[in-house]
Amino acid sequence: MKRIGMLTSGGDCQALNATMRGVVKALYHNLKDVEIYGFQEGYKGLIHGNYRIMKPEDFSGILTKGGTILGTSRQPFKLMRVIGEDGIDKVKAMKDTYHKLKLDCLVVLGGNGTQKTANLLSEEGLNVVSLPKTIDNDIYGTEMTFGFQSAVDIATNAIDCIHTTADSHSRVFIVEVMGHKVGWLTLYAGIAGGADVILLPEIPYDIDNVIAAIEKRRKAGKRFTILAVAEGAISKEDAALGKKAYKEKVKNRKYPTVSYEIADQILKKTGQEVRVTVPGHTQRGGAPCPYDRVLSTRLGAAAAQMIIDKEYGYMASVVNGEISKTKLSDVAGTLKMVDPQSPIIKETRLLGISFGDE
């Protein structure tokens, strides 16, 4: 009997169910006796022993279903070793649940914080295999995360829809795309949607350069300008502040998000009408796109193979275009940022798209 625990942690995304299906389908097909323990609401379920024994039919028909059938929650990594008011030692509780159920392996699906906790449990002696989930595509050790392409499709569609109304009204439009620290989603959606200006957390912008790009289009007879702005986009002035000073400024900022601040600056400096569109959580919702269904299925099968081979302490990943595995210890605590000198940035600049830095 192989007893496998499984949980989804952090923000949801479109292909969590498809990935779990890939893992379980491969295990059922290649092992004679498997029991799946699904923990409810991420690490919270593992901490409190809240689980249910899953059946094969639970994983049937979920390839195209968004969200997660197990539910999820955010359990900050920095608090994992902190005993709260409830007096629970979270790490000990998770280990106790694992051993009480006599699990052979814990399968964890999640983003950066989730991967750090997965590595922590691996270092504590548990058999752990993880999978890279995030619409941000910012997990180190894999070229692609599941959920990213589905989110790109949604954000791109938002920009596509803005084109017609922007042209009709001769306005400047800002589409704010998810991504606090990393700009992969904004970059890809901005390129795919034909944005004229793309602002990323990794490339601090100068508002005068942004306005210069808008004015250049106006003088060329263009009726509108579209900006794809990451929610974590930052000006050069703010980037020069210390971490503490910047947090304080954001806390006291009179604008809901950076996009509204940029819109107000453009209006005051040029007199042009600016509208802000925020797709928000729609970028994480809905059914996974075909690309993500294929990627999730392959990553799930790779995770199952690791379990069969008893190769623990790894994350299923994409390396050099192929499904592979990366040590959890290499993944944990490292973000995969957009390199301002990368080929994709250079190629985008060649098209005349502005990043607001020059």
Q: Is 86 a catalytic residue?
A: no
Dump the DSSP string for 309-346: HT--SEEEEEETTEEEEEEHHHHTT-B-PPPTTSHHHH
Q: For 314, phi and psi rounded to 5 degrees?
A: -125, 155
Closest CA to 192 of 244, 248, 151, 236: 151
Choose, from 86, 104, 136, 357, the residue flagged as catalytic: 136
With a CB cutoff of 8 Å and minimum separation 6, the contacts of 131 are 19, 23, 107, 108, 109, 110, 146, 299, 300, 303, 315, 316
Residue with tokens 């901005």: 190
Dump the DSSP string for 92-144: HHHHHHHHHTT-SEEEEEE-HHHHHHHHHHHHTT--EEEEEB-TT--BTT-S-
User: Which sequence positions are flagged as catalytic?
Assistant: 136
